[in-house]
Amino acid sequence: MKLSTKNKINFAEKKSIITIGILLLVAGYYLVHLNITRRIRNNITVEISKLSPFINISYEKLRVNILTQKISLRNILIIPTGTNDTIQIDDLIFQNSKLHGIIPAKLNVEARGLSLNPNSPLISSFFPYLNGIGYNEFTADIALDYVFKKKEREFRINNLSINAADMGRMEFVLYLANVDFDQILANSDNPANFIAALAGISIAGAKLNYEDFSLAKRLTSPDMSGHTGEANNFVKKTSKKLEDEISTMENKFYRQVLISILDFMKNPDEISIIAAPLQPVPLSRFIFTKNMTDIIDLLYIRIEEPANHQT
């Protein structure tokens, strides 16, 4: 059966319409993408200028993906004002985030390839032993994913992870209730009211997983005692205190929790600590805690055996 000339023309017209429609969609996406990218770049410039009295920030490239709601900055350089310290980040990635307000309602951010010089005053003030125990550089990937529900006054850190090359990996989850950031910020100039506002926050749940590559082992090693005297003394004192409590403790559950913590302190490998209270626990309750068992009881803390240790 042969197509008539009229049908051929109609088919050609339809193909032309479809082609034109696709071209219009592509052009529209490009224009929208260009406009959004320009607005984001301007917003970033404004935010960087606000921080200029404290730090200088520069970056090489901005990429925006509208479909995945992903914003990435490439090769970021951060220099605290008045110092020679430098913080470098290969990629800073925001995805599915709501960045409006002082405390964004939703934040999912990754800093890949964050590097610091261990000899710099900035890092040595927090980690004074890194260079002394054999670390010539500090490189890490850091991720933070949280949701803040203002009406429900809930703050959930779904994931806070730090993976430091040749040091260790930490993953942290935290659920808080009765969080009122407006009240906390409003009382920031009044120490008493500020502490009272913080004390009203409740812990609804938490989990900390730490896998040691070499950091804890080096900090507690007798061979490094000349560089890590304070760390060694802290471990020794804490270990002695735990041993004393274990020796007199009759509750098998509490005893096992303390034994697991003591084992990790003596032979750092991997540990998972879970807090799962039946009801949210206000921070004010910790004012009256006297010992480790009180904290274990309040938060219903337990130690989860790592998968590779389970039998």
Q: Where are the domains of the chain?
A: 97-309
With 0-12 / 13-18 / 19 or more C-beta atoms within 10 angstroms meaning exposed / middle / buried, residue 197 is buried
Residue 251 Rama label (left phi>0; alpha psi -120 to 50; beta): beta
Element (H, E) at 147: strand 138-149
pLDDT of residue 256: 85
pLDDT of residue 204: 95
**Pairwise CA distance, residues 118 & 114, whole Å:** 13
Q: The whole model's pTM is what?
A: 0.78
pLDDT of residue 112: 94
Please, which residues have CB within 8 angstroms of residue 242's CB and are 6 or more apart in sequence? 258, 261, 262, 265, 292
Residue 71 Rama label (left phi>0; alpha psi -120 to 50; beta): beta
pLDDT of residue 17: 66
Please, which residues have CB within 8 angstroms of residue 255's CB and are 6 or more apart in sequence? 246, 249
**Helix ranges restricted to H, the chain:** 5-51, 121-126, 181-186, 191-199, 215-219, 229-248, 252-266, 292-299
pLDDT of residue 31: 64
Residue by residue, pLDDT tens for the chain (311 residues) are 455 555 555 656 666 666 666 666 666 655 666 777 788 888 888 878 887 788 888 899 888 887 777 889 999 998 888 777 788 999 999 888 777 777 888 889 999 999 886 666 666 665 666 766 777 778 899 999 999 998 999 999 999 999 998 889 999 999 999 998 888 888 878 888 888 888 889 999 999 999 999 888 877 776 665 555 666 677 778 888 888 888 888 888 888 888 888 888 888 889 999 999 999 999 988 877 777 778 888 899 888 866 655 44
**Pairwise CA distance, residues 89 & 113, whole Å:** 5
Q: What is the DSSP letter of 49?
A: H
Element (H, E) at 75: strand 70-80
Return the biggest CA–CA distance within the chain: 99
